[in-house]
Amino acid sequence: MATIRTLLLLLEFFTVSYCLKRRSLGGEWIVRDAAGKYDNLKATVPGGIYTDLMNNKIIGDVFYGSNDTETRWVAQSDWIYKSQFLVDDSFLSHNHINLVFEGLDTFATVLINNVEVGSSENMFVRYIFDIKNKLQLGNNTIEVNFLSPIKTAQSLIKKQGYTVPPTCPPDNYRGECHVNQIRKMQASFSWDWGPALPSMGIWKEVYLQAYNSSVIRYLMVDHKDAPNDSWLITVSTYLSTKTGETVQGKLLYNLETDVSLIQQIVDVNQTNTNEDDELKVDYSFTIPKITVRRWWPNGYGEQKLYNFTARWQSGAEIDSKTVKIGFRTIELVQEAIGGSTTPRKFFAGSGLSFYFKVNGLPIFAKGANEIPLDILPEKGQNLQTVDRILESAYSAHMNMLRVWGGGVYESDYFYQKTDELGILIWQDFMFACAMYPTYPEYLNNVKAEVRHQVRRLKSHPSIALWAANNENELALMTNWYGTSSNLELYKDDYIKLYIDTIRSELFNFTTDVTFVSSSPSNGKKTVQENYLSNDPGNSLFGDVHYYNYLVNSLDARTYPIPRFASEYGYQSLPDFDTWLTVTDNIKDLYPNSSFMDHRQHHPFGLIENNLLMMYQLNFNNTTESFYKTYMYYSQIIQAMSIKFETEYYRSFMGRLDSSGHGNTMGALFWQLNDVWVAPTWAGIDYTGKWKMLQYFAKEFFAPTIITAYLDVARQLHIYGMTEIASIFDSRLNVSAVIDVYNWTSFSPIKSTVVDVSLEYGKSLQVAVVDTDNYLNSIGCGSLPTARNNCFFYLSLISGNSVIAPHNLILVSPLKHSNLQTTRVSITSVIQIDDKGTKFEVTVTADGISLFVWLDSHQVRGQFSENGFAQVVPEKAVTFQSETITSVATLENVITVTHLNNHQYQ
């Protein structure tokens, strides 16, 4: 009988139900302003007010020129969206009809047939309104009235009873005030890398849902190690139901493993005693581990995902929800360094470790910080945008991204994509660089946000950590906003919000989660100090954010030696083609222009960028095209600086300095992407074009690298390291090749080979070179000019294969180096596939040339290498076009430049 019952349930599982109905209300709406100046404008849902006004040509492109400030009136106005929809008898006959908004931005009142059915106050919450008794047969109207977020934020400043700083952003941000008063994308009121465009609108899906018994609201699937070589799977299914109602039916769980379809049936007869309109049904079962494969981060193994489906049946009504799960264990290891309890002592020293262990394997987190994919939130939902950014991260060997706390919780598709690509997510809650209110209504608003987002995202194997905020512990304890005069008051608020509310609410839903109270923080040490350390970001504990634009960025003494570097970075400018998408006036592109000042939101940004460039490069500010050189220089300095800093951090993997600093196990640079065309820290500009930094990331994040840095005594310390997981319990035997070149010849003047045995996760010192004396002894010239005449060129060889990116190491600033005037040209373009999307480009040089930069201009795509050092007469790189093109087209559009001709132009 049990077998027959199961077969019947399976048959029903694949049967379409005609009882439950869902109807999208997206598409064309109309919008008007509350003051009556604009009426009957076409609108698109999902969407936002800026996009709609641009489409109606009421305003120009907000990303062009200075339109971001010229359209300030948009966010200071109230807007009304309206649409009509039909319902028939079969729809109305259902016991429950809900109106579901997956995202409302932000303060809105919702009316059905001119009757208010609900309101919103949080951009990050799903709103569900019961409208069964508000509908009528035939035509119905829906209206959503949005209030200005700027005016609403202003109206809330007295709710706390005292100042909640900062009240306004710095003047350079050209932003709006009081964003910390509201639960909206914090960056939408401006940041030092983005404009103030506080949108309003229905930014995610809106739909009607009609049913008789219940529907599945959330499906959370956890798993952990169990006895007998099994996985214990814990499922939490949230069914819609009113408080006090009893739900009766069956839940059928299906898990598609590698060997079979595993089924579990749960009879449900429960009464909802919660205040929420949801009933939680918990169920656990085990499966043999042999039936599934593990999910691994990018670079460590496959990203195997399995369909897990919950099917709810009550009578003839059926609803189902499927999530893709990955079987992996992940933990944040914080143990006394030198006192490891594991059989293999991974570290030695003092302080606490801070690293992620996935499936029992310690990993070095390599990646970047992700800011919102667009400052207009509906545009950040675009699938092509998500694909472009995440695939760029994947191809640069990134295994972790930090979803930064001043933006948004990204789309379902975003996290599905990170699961597929093996990119771990450090997920901030959306609080950044501010103090926040703690009055009861605000805290209840936050609770609703946490409840929704945790249940929505928890099942994703890519979610590695939840952090309560970005930099707010650091801001409070180091007095960024003048809080020291009433420190205890603000400390109490901090605990109320991040610990008593966010942490508590998170752990209400799951304890199988990693949580830190802030970033940066001292990890366990911060917890021991009641979540507020006197020294946040101590490099012996937790994670560190570090920025310094006033000192030489290629000097090792500049940088801390942290356990985990979760933020660091340098600015650069997008290139000329990208700037032409936002202005047609060439003079706007001069570094000192008023337009460039408008786009430079970082205080003293121009001065700091100039200073960083002048440490390394000669300025020839008299040429007419210097503005193009400036863009190019800025990308060189950004790429060089983050490369140097990242490799420096990687060189401390598994080792300590004499003061106990080191055992560094993470490097997430700031920042991956852009929200407009401007001087920013991004490696990928707003058009999706890779800057030099993104190309360099492919090399400095490679699984195996060789690098070097100079100490204060001008000793060159050369290190090799590998993260090839397959050698965890063995060694990688390679040859380190240390070549020294004179700038005048393609042939090295000295080549040394050192045989080394690399251990997984542990940086190995290959050699220490007394630089000046060594260069003098091998014919680079007399001291101290020998360092200007020569450079080191490092590689790792296994057999006849180069297994790590070549690494050019300077021992003198570029401006003092004896670079030669050279000619570099493209001598051939050959199609190497049958689709017309992949080509080989041959670059020829008559002398050693630095930062050789290829640009495909109108043809979007990526080169296999770019910004490279050419130390051979002829070099071939591949170009992968995003669209079908031809050799003839590429021969006309690809250009090449290099530092030598800029230095001597």
DSSP one-letter string for 364-418: -EEEEEE--S-SSGGGGG-HHHHHHHHHHHHHTT--EEEE-TTS----HHHHHHH
Does the pLDDT at position 149 exceed 90? yes
CA-to-CA distance for 374 and 254, rounded, in angstroms? 37
What local confidence, expressed as pLDDT, does residue 618 receive?
85
**Confidence label for 12 from pLDDT (cuts 50, 70 and 90):** very low
pLDDT surpassing 70 at residue 506 = yes
Q: For the chain, how big is the Rg over CA atoms in Å?
A: 29
Q: Are strands 27-33 and 79-87 parallel, antiparallel or unpaired?
A: antiparallel
Residue reference for tokens 């009578």: 315
728: confidence class by pLDDT, cuts 50, 70, 90: confident
Better pLDDT: 113 or 350: 113
Q: What is the dihedral of CA 145, 150, 152, 158, to 10 degrees?
A: 180
Of residues 84 and 659, which shows the higher confidence score? 84
Angle formed by the axes of helices 412-421 and 383-395, to 10°? Answer: 30
Q: What is the DSSP letter of 330?
A: E
Q: What are phi and psi of 364, to 5 degrees?
A: -90, 120
Looking at the chain, the whole-number percentage of residues with pLDDT higher than 70 is: 96
User: Sign of the C-alpha dihedral, residues 723, 729, 734, 739?
Assistant: positive
Query: Are 572 and 634 in contact, with CB atoms under 8 Å apart?
Result: yes
DSSP state of 50: H
Secondary structure element (H or E) that encloses residue 748, with its range: none
Which whole number is the average pLDDT over 99-110? 98
DSSP 604: T
Q: Is 839 exposed, middle or buried (0-12, 13-18, 19+ CB in 10 A)?
A: buried
CA angle 676, 383, 253 (to 5 degrees): 140
- Which tokens belong to 852? 């050789």
Starting at the edge strand found earlier in the chain, the sheet holding 246-256 runs 261-271, 246-256, 306-314, 317-325
Predicted local distance difference test score (pLDDT) of residue 18: 46
Active site includes 471? yes
Query: Per-residue pLDDT for 150 more than 80?
Result: yes
| pLDDT at res. 8 | 41
pLDDT at 775: 97
Interatomic CA distance for residues 195 and 181, integer angstroms:
19
**Two tokens at 523?**
């990890």
Annotated catalytic residue within 567, 647, 723, 865: 567
Element counts in the chain: helices (H) and strands (E):
22, 45
Higher pLDDT, 293 or 3: 293
C-alpha to C-alpha distance for 841 and 825, rounded to whole angstroms: 10
- To the query of whether residue 473 is one of the catalytic residues in this protein, the response is no
| Tokens read off for 565 | 């570097």
| For residue 874, pLDDT beyond 80 | yes
Question: Average pLDDT of 503-518?
Answer: 92
Q: Nearest-CA neighbor of 149 among 190, 114, 193, 194?
A: 190
Query: How far apart are alpha carbons 51 and 42 in whole angstroms?
Result: 11
d(CA 890, CA 856): 7
Dist CA 517 CA 495 (whole Å): 9
Question: pLDDT for 384-406, tens place per residue?
Answer: 999 999 999 999 999 999 999 99
Mean pLDDT on 88-93: 95
CA separation for the pair 487, 432 (Å, rounded): 19
Q: Is the pLDDT of residue 340 over 80?
A: no
Side-chain-facing half-sphere of 157: CA atoms under 13 Å:
15
Looking at residue 901, its pLDDT comes to 78
CA 800 to chain centre: 37
Angle at 686 between CA 399 and CA 431, to 5 degrees: 65
Q: For 427-448, write each residue's pLDDT tens digit.
A: 999 999 999 999 999 999 999 9
Contact by Cβ (8 Å): 390, 421: yes
Contacts of the segment 134-137: beta carbons below 8 A, 24+ positions apart: 135/87, 135/92, 135/97, 136/87, 137/87, 137/88, 137/89, 137/92
- Output the average pLDDT for the chain: 94
pLDDT over 50 (residue 476): yes
Are residues 468 and 526 in contact, defined by beta-carbon separation less than 8 angstroms?
A: no
Q: For residue 152, which phi and psi values (nearest 5 degrees)?
A: -65, -45
Residue 16: per-residue pLDDT? 38
- Going by pLDDT thresholds of 50, 70 and 90, the confidence category of residue 512 is confident
The yes-or-no verdict on residue 268 having pLDDT over 60 is yes
Residue 75's CB: how many other CB atoms inside 10 A?
21
Comparing 327-331, 579-583, 863-867, 900-904, the range with the smallest average pLDDT is: 900-904
Q: Residue 903: what pLDDT?
A: 59
pLDDT band at 727 (very low <50, low <70, confident <90, very high): confident
For residues 654 and 764, is the Cβ–Cβ distance under 8 A?
no
| Beta-bridge partner residues of 662 | 656
Residue 524, pLDDT > 60, answer yes
The pLDDT, as a whole number, for residue 275 is 79
Question: Which amino acid, residue 314?
Answer: S
The answer to whether 863 and 854 have CB atoms below 8 angstroms apart is: yes
How far apart (Å, rounded) are the C-alpha atoms in residues 394 and 862? 13
Q: Give the contacts of 16 (CB within 8 A, at least 6 positions apart).
A: none
* Rounded CA separation 830/828 (Å): 6
Q: What is the pLDDT of residue 20?
A: 86
For 757-814, the pLDDT digits (tens) are 999 999 999 999 999 999 999 999 998 899 999 999 999 999 889 999 999 999 999 9
623 pLDDT higher than 80: no
Spatial distance between the Cα atoms of 641 and 556, rounded to a whole number of angstroms = 11
* pLDDT bucket at 339, cuts 50 / 70 / 90: very low
Looking at residue 656, what DSSP letter applies? B
Kindly state the DSSP code that residue 821 receives in the 8-state scheme. Answer: P
Q: Does the pLDDT value for residue 197 go beyond 50?
A: yes
Supply the pLDDT for residue 11.
Answer: 43
Q: Residue 93 pLDDT > 50, yes or no?
A: yes
Question: Which residues are paired to 764 by β-bridges?
Answer: 720
DSSP 148: P
How many whole angstroms separate alpha carbon 768 and alpha carbon 39? 73
Active-site choice (378, 471, 723, 865): 471
What's the token pair of residue 156?
Answer: 């809330």
